[in-house]
Structure 1
Amino acid sequence: MRIVLTVVALLLSTIGFSQGQSYEKPDTLNSTQIMLDEVSINAPIRLGALQQWSGSFSLIDSLKMELGNSYQISNQLNSLPGVLMQQGTFNTSRITIRGIGSRTPYNSNRIKVYWGDIPLTDGDGVSSIEDIGFNDIHSIMVLKGPSSALYGAGLGGVILINPWTIQNNGYKHSLQSEVGSYGTFSNLISTSLKGKKGHTWLNVNHLQTDGYRDNSEYKRYNITLKGKYQLGKSYLHYLYNYRHLYGQIPSSLDSTDFYKQPTKAADSWAAIEGYEKSNRHILNVGLSSMLSPSVSHTINIFGITTSLDELRPFNRLDESKRSLGLRDKLTYQSKLFNIDGGIEAMLENNALSLFGVKEHSKGERLSENKIQRNYFNVFGLINYLPNSRLSLQTGFNLNLTNYSNTNYFTTQKTTHHYPLVFSPRAGASYQIFNHSNIYAALGHGFSPPSVEEAQMPDGSFNPDIKPEEGYHIDVGYRFVSKNNNTSAEITTYWMKMNNLLVTKRESEEVFYGVNAGATSHQGIEARLNHRVFINANTLTFNASYTQSLNTFDDFTDDGVNYQNNHLPGIPEYSLFIQTIFTTRSNTLQVNYRHNGMQYLNDSNSKRYKAFGVLNAKLNHTVKWNALKANIYLGANNLLNQHYASMLLINAPSFGNKPARYYYPGLPFNMYGGLSICI
């Protein structure tokens, strides 16, 4: 904590010194306004100003995407209050929003993710964003809590990734190459052409690394073709993406290895050189039309195919997944009302086989299943504006989810239909002063069990299992200064979750879920963004803070009562501080992230201490006619802190071996690169 106070004092003293010499530049086009403009164009919250949204949201604009290396989105997400992305390796991560999703061991669950109009959350509730290239991300909006209505009712919230950049007429070509520690190379190539009637983009990116740990080599290739074209009063848009990924899996470590040999891979995974190899195709075609001056219609059809080959110590997984979906939305706008309503549906077929482990080839087939998942959502949101200061919103989401599983070994077919779930939402925002708003929101959310959680070891579905569900309350205050140089927000929230899903393990590879209780999540989030001008230079200060209390209200597992215990895997608090000093041709960015203590298991008998990580980046810009070049050098973990970048809560222990809770974070590491834009 002493390090935290020292860093805070240094950064605040810098701000205080700068304010004494600052002056206001009139009519300055600033990054805050750019951010609001670019997000408003494609954002789901289509309000005259995001300032009036009756709920908590966070934004990552195109400028913030450049404030780290060119491939780790966790740097940006961890700057947001209430959002935590733990990343054990490039292909193993977990995103939680306000503590929701912390019980999922190896991926992100209980949230929804959209890339444009494409849901990246599969039928099993799993979301992945770490494999999208940075040149395919223009901005990100995070809506916290089950309060979006338009995008389902995920308990944690929604992450909306905007793939569409803004460009004047003409062409634009860019190349970025980066090299980093541990044999890391990143290349991003983008070209775009915009005419009077349309805009086309072609993006390619490549990432590879030898890895800090044994058995952690990683390679990824992405190519994206996308476009927007005007057809009379309508706009046609499309997006195609192909991604190839190969990543070795070092897995987590026990306490002894984590502290003494953090570079090693887990023994069982190293012995068989475990890996995952995956190919994915995404296609989305949409049409937006103005039916009248006040009514518009947007329809999107999307398809995703994924193949996966994963070698694990206990078996080898061969999986093929295909999904087809539709999203249809009708919008009405007037002076008093903004109304959105529509449907979203997806059908997913998943063929998976498990094989025994055999060197250089597949072993004996152990199982073969075909799983079909489908969901159907009806959604609506009404925004009523009785006057210029007051905004009242109400919305709903209606969900129907079904599963079926065919076991080709036993010729057994099982089906499961979850009850219809109605999730209402209500909120209000009031402008108390010209640049200040207070808001409050109440919403219901749910998350259905995954197939693995709903399915018993014998292959049958558990008829008694229920979706997790909860109610959520947000109350907050939001401020933006007249010149947009200062903005601040403070939010307090409370959530009550019921039907908590708990994983029961019979072995390392056999597990299932049961409903085992209820939890409470409450906390406070705050952020401050301030910018001052020093002659021709700019100094920006950003800070965010989250304090939360997450406890079991009613939870009994294997006869043990955990009531009033803390949920593991959620830091007591999170602090992020960043300063950016910009001159005509140079930018220096320094940030510090500190996470508080967190528990490792439900009994709270083990805990992981607080830690902090300090990062910096220096950028130099050269312009010559239409050519713009950036040369940059960055360093992460400047203080060489030994820490865990991801924790596996309630880690199982088999064969009298110690539990493996820890994924080691990178020690001090550097990167540097060059980007050229014409």
Structure 2
Amino acid sequence: MNRYLILLFTLTLVNFLEAQEISGVIKDRDLGEVMENVRVETSTGDVVYSDSQGMFFIAQADFPVELRFSFLGYKEKIMILRSFKTDLKVFMAPEIGQLSEVILRSSNIPKKLLQTPAAVSLISRDDLERTNNINLVENFNYLPGIYVNQGALNTNKINIRGVGSRAQYSTNRIKAYINGIPLTTGEGELTLDDFDPEFLDRVEIYKGPVSSVFGAGLGGAINLFTQKRIQEQRSVNGDFTYGSFNTHKTRMNITYVKDSLDLSVNYNKVDSKGYRENGDYDRISMTANAGLLNKKGNYWSILFSYTNLKAFIPSSLNEDDFLNQPQKAAFTWAQSAGYESYSKNILGLSYEHKFSKDLRNQTSVFFNSRDGYEPRPFDILDDDRSSVGIRSKFNLESSLFEMPAEFGFGTEAMLEWYDLATFENLYEDSEVPESIQGGVLSKNHQSRNYVNFFGQMNMDLTSKLLLEVGFNFNTTAYSLEDEFDEDEINQSGDYRFEPVFSPRLGLSYEAFPEKNFYALVSHGFSTPTVAETLTPEGLINTDLQTEKGWYYEVGFKGNWLNNRLYTELSLYSIQINDLLVARRVGEDQYVGLNAGKADRNGIEITSSLMTNLNEEFRLFLFLNSNFNFFEYDLFVDRGENYSGNEIPGTPEYMVSPGVELIFKDFSANVNYRAFGKIALNDANTRYTDPYQLLNFKLNYDCRVGYGFDLELNFGINNILNEHYAASVVTNAVGFGGSQPRYYYPGNPRNYFGGISLKYTL
């Protein structure tokens, strides 16, 4: 009897010991490839390495156990296990130094950055964490070829390679998407200020005309992506940030990933008094993203975003006030307490279907709405916009002429409705600064629609030479209904632009291992906005033409020093015909005109170095820069010949080196940016001064036990306390003998700090 008990005990013990084994497979998060020689360290100091199949095995562990996964060129990953696991799946994310290995998710045919014959800038999750977490577009100013005019938290104007620099107060001529869902309006305007940078996983920015891929966007395309999680996770995260000018942000995030379900909900609230008078800012945002992978490998995803904003507007200043009283607001904007407010909704549903291993489709349907109200000194704007649309893309892997080839083709269509009314602003009748709505000045209903058909083929002509051919066919139309009968002007009418065909041809050649040269020729276009098509009398200007351009680029992308150093060099030229510019004819009245021809030529440099100084220190070095040569080739307006002059609105150069040092749980980064002078008008009689900004941020991350992670950060912006213009109004005009108001002052030296606590179940 005792022998049977001993045998039973022995078998039970053996089974128990075997069950304590922890095993799994380690893969690259983006490529899906298994990773060999990944270091896996337990909290008790035991170390194992993954084998050639990406597998790792740990024979004994005391639970709960902390596992640290580390590999050169990848972010360290930490996991806590509370029970045995024999089928663990671990996905490692590349560090910034592995840019060349990143797969571009927004291209019609996904390719590695190194092999893509185009200039594409990436902002990783790590990059977003190197700045403060208030303003997403602040991160764009570190990239070559991109400049953001920042008048306030809610007044941002993005231009890419100079395109969009002459827009007055908003971003246009740039396409934007989040998870493939369009964010740009039907007439080409864009606002990205609402999105919380902490909810994003990556930003991909295509620079230059990209009509063959994304439609009407001479400047380029900005693609935002939320995190797509594969590994099981259940966590709650709370953040609080406080900064100068009584700026504070509160954020809460809930993430649930289990089996085939990926769910994340993000809430944030940002408040600020602002550096300048009449600069209060209040924004509430909520974004939810869910994904579901079914048994056949098809993927459903849904995105919902809601924003409610009220932001006061200090507006631009003349030169005297800019130099001597930069904190003040423009007089009439202060007296009327001018502001903008809106509530915005974005809803998108996407489905990825695999018909076979060679054919797949992604289809998204979306709905956007915005209800806005904006009291201004000259009137009060009440507007309501809504749109619906679809984007569908097929990808096919096949061969052509016995050479491997990939095909991407599809369509994007949008219908948009816009109701607009303006009212008198009787603020002068009030004894305190406020706006008072008066009588109706105008009331219009606009309908807009566009349809894009696009296609692309990538073919391996040889093992080293890649050919890329693409096209886009666009039709755009709108109608305007004047619903205000009390004046003698009837703005009603229909307008349809001529269809536009935009081709694209690119070549990428691997001259040496991990070193590629590329060349690109493409066509692009931008359609006028409805406001630009109206004459000073309020009639539709049917003579206005679509802005079109040809784009030429050659460049080099390469890895050095065993993939620790990545470099890019690009030279480009954008030749634009029928250039659309806005002529100011009143305090807030502009008319569009085709200004002849413009040449935008430039040089851009990107480099990043990642190295381990020893087992505890890691060093990252960055250098981004661009040099611009933008001028009118032919432009005569009101008898003035501006041919050969610089195009206003963009710095002549940008140089931005940076360094980040990581030691255990600490990281510190310093970034320097130098900008050249900016022409303020077409005559080139006024320029801003060059300026430089030095920023610093310190992070501390630690695991405090029981599933809690703590992060502390502190930073200083504009350490040198530079006085500079963060945004400009090109071709400003002074009315009634006043000076023209060209300048939006930048913030002086300012500070921020934050705390984040994350609990993982």
**CA spacing shift, 1:398–1:194, aligned 2, 3 Å:** same
Counterparts of 1:46 and 1:181, CA distance in 2: 44
Give the Å deviation of 1:39.
5.5
Preserved contact between residue 394 and residue 408 of structure 2 (Cα < 8 Å)? yes
**CA spacing shift, 1:273–1:63, aligned 2, 3 Å:** same
Preserved contact between residue 211 and residue 524 of structure 2 (Cα < 8 Å)? no
Corresponding residue for 1:604?
684
Secondary structure of the residue that 2:683 maps to in structure 1?
A: coil
Alignment of 1:436-447 (within 5 A): 436-447=515-526
**CA spacing shift, 1:444–1:68, aligned 2, 3 Å:** same
The counterpart of 2:742, out of the listed 651, 661, 678, is 661
Structure 2 residue 598 is the aligned partner of structure 1 residue 519:
yes
Give the Å deviation of 1:33.
2.5
**CA spacing shift, 1:412–1:125, aligned 2, 3 Å:** closer
Deviations 1:534-577 (A, max 9, x none): 11201111011100100111000111001101111111110111
Secondary structure of the residue that 2:682 maps to in structure 1?
A: coil
Corresponding residue for 1:349?
417
Give the Å deviation of 1:116.
1.2
Corresponding residue for 2:213?
150
Counterparts of 2:590 and 2:295, CA distance in 1: 55
**CA spacing shift, 1:334–1:318, aligned 2, 3 Å:** same
Decide which moves more: 119-128 or 439-448: 119-128
Give the Å deviation of 1:596.
0.5
Secondary structure of the residue that 1:135 maps to in structure 2?
A: helix
Letter of the structure 2 residue corresponding to residue 628 of structure 1: D
Structure 2 residue 469 is the aligned partner of structure 1 residue 389:
no
**CA spacing shift, 1:575–1:641, aligned 2, 3 Å:** same
Decide which moves more: 149-158 or 41-50: 41-50
Letter of the structure 1 residue corresponding to residue 212 of structure 2: A
> Which ranges of structure 1 fall in alignment gaps of 5 or more residues?
1-24
Counterparts of 1:362 and 1:583, CA distance in 2: 58
Give the Å deviation of 1:170.
2.5
Decide which moves more: 157-166 or 631-640: 157-166
**CA spacing shift, 1:198–1:41, aligned 2, 3 Å:** farther
Deviations 1:481-538 (A, max 9, x none): 3643110010000111110122223211222111121100101000110122111201
Deviations 1:609-643 (A, max 9, x none): 10001000111122134322111110000010001
**CA spacing shift, 1:48–1:417, aligned 2, 3 Å:** closer
Secondary structure of the residue that 2:144 maps to in structure 1?
A: coil
Give the Å deviation of 1:175.
1.6
The counterpart of 1:73, out of the listed 131, 136, 142, is 136
**CA spacing shift, 1:246–1:26, aligned 2, 3 Å:** closer
Preserved contact between residue 39 and residue 139 of structure 1 (Cα < 8 Å)? no
Secondary structure of the residue that 1:101 maps to in structure 2?
A: coil
Alignment of 1:626-637 (within 5 A): 626-637=707-718
In our comparison, the structure showing a higher alpha carbon Rg is 2
Aligned length: 654
Letter of the structure 1 residue corresponding to residue 500 of structure 2: V
Please report the TM-score for the alignment, with normalisation by the length of structure 1.
0.94
Counterparts of 1:504 and 1:545, CA distance in 2: 32
Counterparts of 1:266 and 1:381, CA distance in 2: 50
Letter of the structure 2 residue corresponding to residue 399 of structure 1: N
Counterparts of 1:27 and 1:148, CA distance in 2: 39
Decide which moves more: 554-563 or 67-76: 67-76
Structure 1 residue runs of 4 or more that deviate by more than 3 Å after TM superposition: 34-39, 45-48
Give the Å deviation of 1:41.
7.4
Corresponding residue for 1:208?
271
Letter of the structure 1 residue corresponding to residue 94 of structure 2: Q
Structure 2 residue 312 is the aligned partner of structure 1 residue 248:
yes
Counterparts of 2:666 and 2:604, CA distance in 1: 32
Corresponding residue for 1:176?
239
Give the Å deviation of 1:111.
1.1
Secondary structure of the residue that 2:277 maps to in structure 1?
A: coil
Preserved contact between residue 587 and residue 735 of structure 2 (Cα < 8 Å)? yes
**CA spacing shift, 1:148–1:193, aligned 2, 3 Å:** farther
**CA spacing shift, 1:64–1:412, aligned 2, 3 Å:** closer
Corresponding residue for 1:403?
478
Secondary structure of the residue that 1:598 maps to in structure 2?
A: coil
Counterparts of 1:661 and 1:612, CA distance in 2: 19
Secondary structure of the residue that 1:601 maps to in structure 2?
A: coil
Corresponding residue for 2:719?
638
Alignment of 1:434-583 (within 5 A): 434-481=513-560, 483-535=562-614, 536-583=616-663
Structure 2 residue 367 is the aligned partner of structure 1 residue 367:
no
**CA spacing shift, 1:34–1:289, aligned 2, 3 Å:** farther
Counterparts of 1:45 and 1:666, CA distance in 2: 40
**CA spacing shift, 1:353–1:612, aligned 2, 3 Å:** same
Counterparts of 2:109 and 2:474, CA distance in 1: 23
**CA spacing shift, 1:599–1:71, aligned 2, 3 Å:** same
Counterparts of 1:550 and 1:115, CA distance in 2: 30
Decide which moves more: 629-638 or 450-459: 450-459
Decide which moves more: 224-233 or 344-353: 224-233
Give the Å deviation of 1:252.
0.3
Corresponding residue for 2:353?
289
Letter of the structure 2 residue corresponding to residue 523 of structure 1: G
Deviations 1:446-497 (A, max 9, x none): 0000000012233321111001110000100001236431100100001111
Give the Å deviation of 1:27.
4.3
Counterparts of 2:229 and 2:460, CA distance in 1: 29
Deviations 1:84-117 (A, max 9, x none): 1111101111111111110101011111111111
Preserved contact between residue 100 and residue 112 of structure 2 (Cα < 8 Å)? no
Preserved contact between residue 459 and residue 466 of structure 2 (Cα < 8 Å)? yes
Corresponding residue for 2:334?
270
Counterparts of 2:111 and 2:338, CA distance in 1: 51
**CA spacing shift, 1:437–1:481, aligned 2, 3 Å:** same
The counterpart of 2:301, out of the listed 227, 237, 241, is 237
Give the Å deviation of 1:37.
9.8
The counterpart of 1:57, out of the listed 120, 125, 131, is 120
* Structure with more contact order per residue of length (Cα contacts < 8 Å, sep ≥ 6): 1
Give the Å deviation of 1:403.
1.1
Secondary structure of the residue that 1:67 maps to in structure 2?
A: coil
Preserved contact between residue 252 and residue 662 of structure 1 (Cα < 8 Å)? yes
**CA spacing shift, 1:253–1:239, aligned 2, 3 Å:** same
Counterparts of 1:317 and 1:453, CA distance in 2: 17
Counterparts of 2:718 and 2:104, CA distance in 1: 36
Letter of the structure 1 residue corresponding to residue 656 of structure 2: F
Counterparts of 2:171 and 2:514, CA distance in 1: 36
Counterparts of 1:72 and 1:419, CA distance in 2: 38
Counterparts of 2:180 and 2:131, CA distance in 1: 27
Preserved contact between residue 211 and residue 502 of structure 2 (Cα < 8 Å)? no
Give the Å deviation of 1:138.
1.2
**CA spacing shift, 1:505–1:41, aligned 2, 3 Å:** closer
Corresponding residue for 2:94?
33
Counterparts of 1:273 and 1:142, CA distance in 2: 36
Counterparts of 1:273 and 1:639, CA distance in 2: 32
Counterparts of 2:103 and 2:669, CA distance in 1: 27
Secondary structure of the residue that 1:132 maps to in structure 2?
A: coil
Counterparts of 2:315 and 2:567, CA distance in 1: 40
Letter of the structure 1 residue corresponding to residue 72 of structure 2: T
Counterparts of 1:595 and 1:506, CA distance in 2: 31
Please report the TM-score for the alignment, with normalisation by the length of structure 2.
0.84
Counterparts of 1:424 and 1:39, CA distance in 2: 26
Letter of the structure 1 residue corresponding to residue 191 of structure 2: S
Counterparts of 1:417 and 1:358, CA distance in 2: 38
Decide which moves more: 330-339 or 283-292: 330-339
> Which ranges of structure 2 fall in alignment gaps of 5 or more residues?
1-68, 76-92, 428-434
Deviations 1:383-408 (A, max 9, x none): 11233321100001111000110001
Deviations 1:119-144 (A, max 9, x none): 11101211111211123321101111
* Identity in percent: 34
Counterparts of 2:499 and 2:382, CA distance in 1: 33
Preserved contact between residue 199 and residue 229 of structure 1 (Cα < 8 Å)? yes
